[in-house]
Amino acid sequence: MRIIKFLLQKEFLQIFRNKAMLPIIFVIPIVQLLVLSFAATYELKEARFALIDRDQSIASRELVSKLQATGYFTLQSEFTSGEEAQIQLDKGKVSFIVVIPRDFQQSLSSNNPTNIQLVIDAVDGSVANLINSYVNSIVRDFSIDKSASISLISPQNLQQASIKKISTQAINWYNPNLDYITYMVPGILVILVSMIGLFLSGMNIVREREIGTIEQLNVTPITKFQFMVGKLVPFWVIGMFDLLLGLTLARFGFQIPFLGSLTTILIIAGIYLVLIQALGLFISTITDTQQQAMFIAWFIMVVFILMGGLFTPIESMPMWAQKVTLANPIAYFIKIMRMVLLKGAGWKEVYGMVLIISAMAGGLLAISVNRYKKTSG
């Protein structure tokens, strides 16, 4: 026990002595949480469009002002020729072009079908989709408005009675305003804590090896177990501390509802951090230099982040990729965090995932402790 105490003392001293690392460990994650949580949104805020109005009628103006009234779209400029508008689109000055045909108003009032052309810059497919569906729904409303006012006097209102309508009513649970921040903050927090845990622990032992101090440790009577504990505990403590800091910020800064129990989160986080440290340790045992270790850790991290369901829902992946995410610890912890914090899930709902994480942690820890040899060469 005394040996472990001294080892821990040494590790903590080493961490806190490095002045450049302190802000990285404690300040930057918080800044990132603050900044990046706002970045992660798919909501369409504002898109500029170019207009080619060949009709120049009351109806066409009405439609354009309808488009602008939503607050999503701003008219950037009006053109008479398609080529000029196209150049604006290519330059990225506008996101889409609306083309209103010459006989727009006339067709409307005479109850003939008419077309609007929409040319969308679809380089960013998801934005293009959003624009398309927003414009479509605005035009649909406009069209219904118009035809309703016309059909009052037309023979078609006789038919109206037989038209069937099914209305849908959307109810969004847990997050009625479809607020992204609530959803993102727990996820980004998980990523930050994981990165700190993985990189610090992954680099640690390999550093001793690269500098050569590992030999000094090897010739001491310290056992493998004591050595590992000494290496793992400090980063575990730092990880938990960061998590607590982040949770406080989430609760009081972002006003994220904490529906579930905080104790549950902390216990699971404890297990999860052991898993991440074990992964770091494992990387440490298979590499010779810090550069190698870092590179592999980065690679794993990028894959974990992009396949963790944080930014793109796991549901949108093909089946095989959804299966792959079953091996991704970050995916589990993000899911647990969201379930417990946002939906108030308890042990009953999450114990399956906790078991998996625990098993992964145990297995990986066993493998890496086993791989670490007190002999060199």
Partner 1 sequence: MNSFRGFVIKEFKQIYRDTRTLVVLFGMPVLMLLIFGFAIRNEVNNAKIGVLDLAKDEVSSAIIQKIAASKAFQLNAYLTSYDEVESIFREGEIKEIIVFEKDFARNLSRSGSASIQLITDATDPNLANIVQTYTNAIIADYVQELNSNSIPDVGIKVHSKMMNNEELASVNLFVPGLIAVILMLVSALMTSISITKEKEMGNMEILLVSPLKPHHIIIGKVLPYLLLSVVNVVTILVLAKYIFQVPFLGSYVLFFAESILFIVTALSLGVFISSVANNQQTAMMVSLVVLLLPTILLSGFIFPIESMPLPLQVISNIIPAKWFLVIVRGIMLKGSGILIIWKETAILIGITLIFITFSLKKFKVRLQ
Taking the least distance from each CB to partner 1, the nearer of 194 and 368 is 194
Question: What is the C-alpha separation between 53 and 79, in angstroms, rounded?
Answer: 8
Taking the least distance from each CB to partner 1, the nearer of 74 and 223 is 74
The 3 state secondary structure assigned to 278-334 is HHHHHHHHHCCCHHHHHHHHHHHHHHHHHCCCCCCCHHHCCHHHHHHHHHCHHHHHH
Considering the complex, what minimum distance in angstroms separates the CB of residue 177 from partner 1? 8
Helix or strand holding residue 50 (H, E): strand 47-53
Exposed, middle or buried, 232 (CB in 10 Å: 0-12/13-18/19+)? buried
Taking the least distance from each CB to partner 1, the nearer of 47 and 269 is 47
Query: What are the two backbone dihedrals, phi and then psi, of residue 15, each rounded to the nearest 5 degrees?
Result: -70, -45
Question: What is the C-alpha separation between 195 and 308, in angstroms, rounded?
Answer: 13
Q: Three-state DSSP class for 16?
A: helix
Considering the complex, what minimum distance in angstroms separates the CB of residue 225 from partner 1? 25
Considering the complex, what minimum distance in angstroms separates the CB of residue 24 from partner 1? 4
Considering the complex, what minimum distance in angstroms separates the CB of residue 131 from partner 1? 9
99 DSSP β-pair partners = 52, 117
Taking the least distance from each CB to partner 1, the nearer of 162 and 263 is 162
Residue 16: partners with Cβ closer than 8 Å, 6 or more residues away: 22
Taking the least distance from each CB to partner 1, the nearer of 121 and 362 is 121
* CB-CB contact of 341 with 256 (8 Å): yes
Considering the complex, what minimum distance in angstroms separates the CB of residue 115 from partner 1? 5
Exposed, middle or buried, 50 (CB in 10 Å: 0-12/13-18/19+)? buried
Taking the least distance from each CB to partner 1, the nearer of 201 and 368 is 201
Taking the least distance from each CB to partner 1, the nearer of 303 and 366 is 303
Considering the complex, what minimum distance in angstroms separates the CB of residue 153 from partner 1? 14
Angle at 295 between CA 330 and CA 331, to 5 degrees: 10
Considering the complex, what minimum distance in angstroms separates the CB of residue 105 from partner 1? 11
Question: What is the C-alpha separation between 277 and 235, in angstroms, rounded?
Answer: 8
Question: Which residue in 96, 101, 75, 76 sits closest to 86, CA to CA?
Answer: 96
Considering the complex, what minimum distance in angstroms separates the CB of residue 57 from partner 1? 13
Taking the least distance from each CB to partner 1, the nearer of 237 and 317 is 317
